[in-house]
Amino acid sequence: MSNILEVKDLKITFDTYAGKVQAIRGVSFDLKKGETLAIVGESGSGKSVTTRSIMQLLSQNANIEEGQILFDGQDLVKTSEKEMQNIRGKKIAMIFQDPMTSLNPTMTIEKQIAEPLRLHQNMNKQQAAERALELLKLVGLPDAEKRMKQYPHQFSGGQRQRVVIAIALACDPDILIADEPTTALDVTIQAQILELMKELQHKVNTSIIFITHDLGVVANVADRVAVMYAGKFVEVGTVDEVFYNPQHPYTWGLLASMPTLETNGSLYAIPGTPPDLLDPPKGDAFAPRNEYRMKIDTEHQPPMFKVSDTHYAATWLLHKDAPAINPPAEIMARQKVYKEKYAALHTEGGAK
């Protein structure tokens, strides 16, 4: 599969009154055509900044210090604002956490979907209206003919997020970025929106970057997972690799803090707090919280060690001279249960 996006050694800082915040400290990844990549990490780890930089929607005080963002070979870092306006919404679309802020309260839903189609796709009024209806049906909005004449306040939170997804898909984008699209919704609606995202992945040939702080939702939605910590990717792999053969102690912590399928409560919280990005530590940023840390962790940042062709992790534990340390047995036992449950869901649900 070819890559639609290649991010290479991206470094982003923010100027603040207290100094330079080193928000993104060397991030590299690629996104293949048609795949869903989930980016997971704690609050402040840099998920939103990474994806906003792809859209070139960073705030005024942001600096892209280094790196390339190659979209279909074109470096978006060097692309003019005028040209970005042609890419944004049309080729790369983004949906945000709070669906209300993305909708215009004074315009009917029909108009909000049809407008970009007329603008970007040169559709006439009739064609745009037909496509709007088709999109609302695609995202599973009941009574679409009637509802497209209504305004955002007449919709529930989950319905609004469906509308936002329809707008994002309107121009058939190559990449859809979903930044925590379900966190503002209640749990049942969250599950429905996630199910919708999964269905859409099969129906439209869009690559998806799905941001979440909840590893639990990833297994069902993504092909690959990138675990982010303090402005870096610390582990990247297929869903199976990250869930069933995790290598980074931070990933172990995230897996241990995942709510089980039986309970809604989380079992564990990773002790400590993320580092101050105004003055990140010299060595591995996770070292102070890492119960398996070695001397080298406090001195040198680990490179990405290769585990398989698709699996990489930045931990000195993978160095050939490091002691062999396995993830805590209770986490792996839970992952095994998780896997079996998912296998059961897959067979029961057929192609789902």
Ligand X SMILES: Nc1ncnc2c1ncn2[C@@H]1O[C@H](COP(=O)(O)OP(=O)(O)OP(=O)(O)O)[C@@H](O)[C@H]1O
CA distance 299 to 301: 7
14 binds, among ligand X, Mg ion, none (CB under 5 to 8 A by kind): ligand X
- Binding residues for ligand X restricted to 209-228, rule: CB under 6 A: 213
Q: Which stretch binds ligand X (CB under 6 A): 3-11, 42-50, 235-243, 324-332?
A: 42-50
Neighbours of 259 (CB within 10 A): 13
The verdict on 45 binding Mg ion (CB under 5 A) reads no
124 binds ligand X (CB under 6 A): no
Q: Which residues pair with 62 in a beta bridge?
A: 14
Is 11 among the residues that bind ligand X (CB under 6 A)?
Answer: no
Q: Applying CB under 6 A, does 101 fall inside the site for ligand X?
A: no
Q: Which string of x and - marks every residue 265-284 that binds ligand X (by CB under 6 A)?
A: ------------x-------
In the list Mg ion, ligand X, none, the entry touching 213 (Cβ below 5 to 8 angstroms by class) is: ligand X
Window contacting ligand X (CB under 6 A); options: 41-49, 196-204, 240-248, 308-316: 41-49
Other C-beta atoms closer than 10 Å to the C-beta of 128 total 22
Q: Minimal distance in Å, beta carbon 50 to ligand X?
A: 7
User: How far apart are CB 27 and Mg ion at their closest, in Å?
Assistant: 14
**Minimal distance in Å, beta carbon 43 to Mg ion?**
7
Per CB under 6 A, which region of 46-54, 104-112, 254-262, 306-314 contacts ligand X?
46-54
**Span from 13-21, 233-241, 252-260, 339-347 in contact with ligand X (CB under 6 A):** 13-21
The neighbouring-strand residues paired with 47 are: none
Other C-beta atoms within 10 Å of 269: how many? 9
User: Least distance in Å: CB of 44 to ligand X?
Assistant: 4
Q: Under rule CB under 6 A, how many of the chain's residues touch ligand X?
A: 16
Can you read off the two tokens belonging to residue 342? 């998912």
Q: List, in sequence order, every beta strand (DSSP E) within 130-289.
A: 175-179, 207-212, 224-229, 232-238
Stretch near ligand X under the rule CB under 6 A, chosen from 14-22, 30-38, 237-245, 318-326: 14-22
Q: Does 315 bind Mg ion (CB under 5 A)?
A: no
Q: How far apart, in whole angstroms, are the C-alpha atoms of residue 232 and residue 34?
A: 24
Tokens of 326: 């396995």
- CA angle 284/285/290 to nearest 5° reads 80
Write the binding mask 50 to 69 for ligand X: x where contact by CB under 6 A, - elsewhere. Answer: ---------x-x--------
Partner residues linked to 97 by β-bridges: none
Smaller CB separation from ligand X, 19 or 259: 19
Verify binding: residue 48, Mg ion, rule CB under 5 A.
Answer: yes
The number of CA neighbours under 13 Å toward the Cβ of 186 is: 4
- Distant-in-sequence contacts of 147-152, Cβ < 8 A, 24+ apart: 147/109, 148/108, 148/109, 148/110, 148/113, 149/108, 149/109, 149/110, 150/108, 150/109, 151/105, 151/106, 151/107, 151/108, 151/109, 152/100, 152/103, 152/104, 152/105, 152/109
Binding site for ligand X (CB under 6 A): 14, 16, 21, 23, 41, 43-49, 59, 61, 213, 277
